[in-house]
Structure 1
Amino acid sequence: MTDLVFADELPEEATTGRVKPIDPWVVMIVDDDPAVHQVTQLVMADFEFSGRRLQFLDAYSAAEGREILQSRGDIALILLDVVMESEHAGLDLARYIREELGNSFVRIVLRTGQPGQAPEEHVIKTYDINDYKEKTELTKRKLITVFYSALRSYRDIMIIEQSRQSLRRSIDAITRVYDSHNLRRFASAVLEQVAHLLGYEAQGLCASRISAYAASHMDGRLKVLAATSEYSRLLVDQEVESLPAQVREALDKALIEQQSYFEELCYVGYYRTSSGNESLLYMVFSEPVDEQARELLEIFCANVAITYESLLLREEIQDTQRSTVYIIGEAVEKRSKETGAHVRRVGELSALLAEAVGMTAGDVEFMRQASPLHDVGKIGIPDRVLNKPGKLDAEEWEVMQTHARIGFELLSKSDKRILQLGATIAYEHHERWDGLGYPRGLAGEQINVAGRIVALADVLDALVSKRCYKEAWNFDEALAYVREQAGKQFDPKLVQMLLDRLDLVRSIYERYPDN
């Protein structure tokens, strides 16, 4: 073994600022000489880079190094001897790390006391290592330089990798952001990654205060929209009042001054949209952030605010559309002297069955909104037929049957997806599985699944509801009828799905009772 020779101490470096204790850099020494381990750790005992100290792992052979590497993925730097249990044990380990483990992140510095065994030019060209040093040239100054260089490289590589993973998660999450509730989950996930993207340890939250136009969604108070793990409990109640005093004070200051501001380890971002909505971003960092990081934080705050506002506006439009559908459906039901709760229950039952057959969340919502229009064609049926208390005669029944076609013709004139679906439902919800329904006598899967679903939901609710021509059945009687008509009037698979979800069905009737 060649003795390590260390030069005089380097001049003491100035500290880079206050640092919150964080995980150390993990360095593994792989060398069969215990003295190398001891001297290296002694010399580097006070080393610190980017606010992090060192943690050493010791392996006295390449085989020990393999065992450690198989169980740990957080090693930043390996100081690797060449000659150990064999003349090329270190080189074989380097190849194992890169090719078999697929670890391209850890920095590998080859240290050899016998350079003739492994010529530098050949080794650098053949093996994926990051530096090559002869032990005789490793003075303390040069060893420190090696550590700075390797750890800086490892840090930057990991930032890129974390950014890549964050981008992948963000892109995946974007496809699920279709309402403000999902935006909260998405924004929280992105917020968790902001610190990693910037290369800082941080915790924080994003809060919003919505202007009067969206009062139906929020009452003008500041509420938490997104949060990292430390503040995640706030996503349940969303109330800023439960925040620590120093956080509330920081947010109040930004609201009063209506501008962002930085403190040494804290950033409070303020953004006001063109509609008057206000968003705040509160972040606490482990160390002071640079100008580039500050700019990215402000961009993040602005984009979350704009996206949230857009989703709230879209929800407002969807709520208006949903309300309009219910108003039309209820108007038809009231004309036929039936309760308006019928259309809401049919909508919820249809959504329940749509989910059961495997429709997407978007299609389930379309079913919920379109199914209340199933009887809109009754608007063209005369009162004498529509509200006749007794059984209809043949002529009257023929007139009543035309409501399916009338509803289809009314709704199919629109190119909007909900109304197109409503047209299909209106036309087919009186078709039967056995082909004996109307208006076209379709059978089985010739009937659109939306029509089959609403046929079942409509009849079940009609049975348990009072009508001008009958009294309400009790729930068990209605279920018995549905069971008996499986494979006749109704799709048997849908009947079974309904029966498998009776608790959910009953809960719909608890939420929407007849007035």
Structure 2
Amino acid sequence: MIEADHIHDLNRRVSLLEEHIGFKLEPILHYALRARDNYTLEHSNRVVTLSEVIGKHLNLQKREMEVLSLAASFHDIGKIGIPDNILLKPGTLTREEYEGIKVHSAIGANMLRTLANPLLDEVAVGVLHHHEQWDGKGYPDGLKGEDIPIVSRIIAVVDAYDAMTTTRSYRREMSKIEALKMIESESGKQFCPKAVEVVLDICRSGKFSWFK
């Protein structure tokens, strides 16, 4: 069930979008996220919450924070174009199915670019590259290290952390401690070392009860 505060946070970020593009967008994007499945909306809201905390710790500027918030909000909106039999498959994906999943970042980026707005063009870049990896083994473009936008690097870590600590159709959740150990082991490989360092500090500090 989608919590009321999640809806409030989504509406706040959509209002930010509307300030820049000049027309009502909430019904479209809100419907798109819910149409995919409730998990996608809830996951996106959790990713935004931690991403914003990380962005502040990394001293991102106001514009970068806006882009981060919006890109985190809609990083998975492209999954609306992925068939349920692939996205919700309980077993291991075939190579072809995995290739099908991978296009969601490009679909989402293209959806945002169709709005022809400078801010959303930046958001689209963050969405497009949120599955790139620090060692260059990610997708869609195999970007490496600091060539990956900082917004995408932050979302990559948070997206993985939330995915690992929630139950999906194809696997059960792992403990937050296990997830953090796995993320730490991938620092400098899959994930940006700076982003990993901040995630570990935040989640282990006890200051944010949601991440304990």
TM-score (norm 1): 0.35
Q: Which residue of 1 aligns with 2:106?
A: 405
> CA, structure 1 residues 318+440, in 2 after alignment: closer, same or farther (shift >3 Å)?
closer
CA distance in 2, matches of 1:441, 1:395: 19
Q: Which residue of 2 aligns with 1:461?
A: 162
AA aligned to 2:81 is G
Please report how far the alpha carbon of residue 349 of structure 1 lies from its aligned counterpart in structure 2 after TM superposition.
1.3
Please report how far the alpha carbon of residue 486 of structure 1 lies from its aligned counterpart in structure 2 after TM superposition.
0.3
Q: Which residue of 2 aligns with 1:476?
A: 177
Which structure: greater strand fraction?
Answer: 1
Verify the 8 A CA contact 2:184 2:196 in the aligned structure 1: yes
Superposed counterparts of 1:42-191, under 5 Å: none
> CA, structure 1 residues 477+392, in 2 after alignment: closer, same or farther (shift >3 Å)?
same
> CA, structure 1 residues 392+438, in 2 after alignment: closer, same or farther (shift >3 Å)?
same
Question: Secondary structure in 2 aligned to 1:340?
Answer: helix
> CA, structure 1 residues 477+506, in 2 after alignment: closer, same or farther (shift >3 Å)?
farther
Verify the 8 A CA contact 1:349 1:508 in the aligned structure 2: no
Q: Which residue of 2 aligns with 1:443?
A: 144
CA distance in 2, matches of 1:318, 1:402: 27
Superposed counterparts of 1:357-368, under 5 Å: 357-368=58-69
Please report how far the alpha carbon of residue 330 of structure 1 lies from its aligned counterpart in structure 2 after TM superposition.
3.5
Tell me how large the CA RMSD over aligned residues is. 3.0
Question: Secondary structure in 1 aligned to 2:103?
Answer: helix
CA distance in 2, matches of 1:473, 1:492: 22
Asked if residue 350 in structure 1 is aligned to residue 51 in structure 2, the reply is: yes
Which structure: greater helix fraction?
Answer: 2
- From 134, 148, 158, the equivalent of 1:433 is 134
AA aligned to 1:405 is A
- From 107, 120, 123, the equivalent of 1:422 is 123
Q: Which of 473-482 and 366-375 deviates more?
A: 366-375
TM-score (norm 2): 0.80
CA distance in 2, matches of 1:396, 1:442: 23
AA aligned to 2:83 is P
Q: Which residue of 1 aligns with 2:209?
A: 507
Give structure 1 regions of 4+ aligned residues with deviation exceeding 6 angstroms.
Answer: 319-323
Name which one, 1 or 2, has greater alpha-carbon Rg: 1
- From 370, 375, 389, the equivalent of 2:90 is 389
Verify the 8 A CA contact 2:165 2:175 in the aligned structure 1: yes
> CA, structure 1 residues 394+357, in 2 after alignment: closer, same or farther (shift >3 Å)?
same
- From 327, 332, 343, the equivalent of 2:30 is 327
Aligned-pair identity (%): 34
Q: Which residue of 2 aligns with 1:260?
A: none
RCO higher in structure (CA 8 A, sep ≥6): 2
AA aligned to 2:127 is A
Verify the 8 A CA contact 1:329 1:373 in the aligned structure 2: no
Please report how far the alpha carbon of residue 400 of structure 1 lies from its aligned counterpart in structure 2 after TM superposition.
1.0
> CA, structure 1 residues 317+388, in 2 after alignment: closer, same or farther (shift >3 Å)?
closer
Superposed counterparts of 1:202-213, under 5 Å: none
CA distance in 2, matches of 1:316, 1:388: 30
What are the Cα deviations for residues 289-336 of structure 1, in whole angstroms up to 9, with x where unaligned?
xxxxxxxxxxxxxxxxxxxxxxxxxx99449779938725642551xx
Q: Which residue of 2 aligns with 1:132?
A: none
Please report how far the alpha carbon of residue 407 of structure 1 lies from its aligned counterpart in structure 2 after TM superposition.
1.4
AA aligned to 1:464 is T
Please report how far the alpha carbon of residue 497 of structure 1 lies from its aligned counterpart in structure 2 after TM superposition.
1.4
Q: Which residue of 2 aligns with 1:486?
A: 187
AA aligned to 1:507 is S
Verify the 8 A CA contact 1:431 1:447 in the aligned structure 2: yes
Q: Which residue of 2 aligns with 1:264?
A: none
| Matched positions, count | 196
> CA, structure 1 residues 358+369, in 2 after alignment: closer, same or farther (shift >3 Å)?
same
- From 61, 69, 73, the equivalent of 1:372 is 73
AA aligned to 1:406 is I
CA distance in 1, matches of 2:156, 2:49: 13
> CA, structure 1 residues 341+507, in 2 after alignment: closer, same or farther (shift >3 Å)?
farther
CA distance in 2, matches of 1:372, 1:349: 11
Asked if residue 496 in structure 1 is aligned to residue 180 in structure 2, the reply is: no
CA distance in 1, matches of 2:177, 2:185: 12
Question: Secondary structure in 2 aligned to 1:501?
Answer: helix
Return 5+ residue gaps in structure 1 as ranges. Answer: 1-215, 217-314, 511-515
Return 5+ residue gaps in structure 2 as ranges. Answer: 1-7
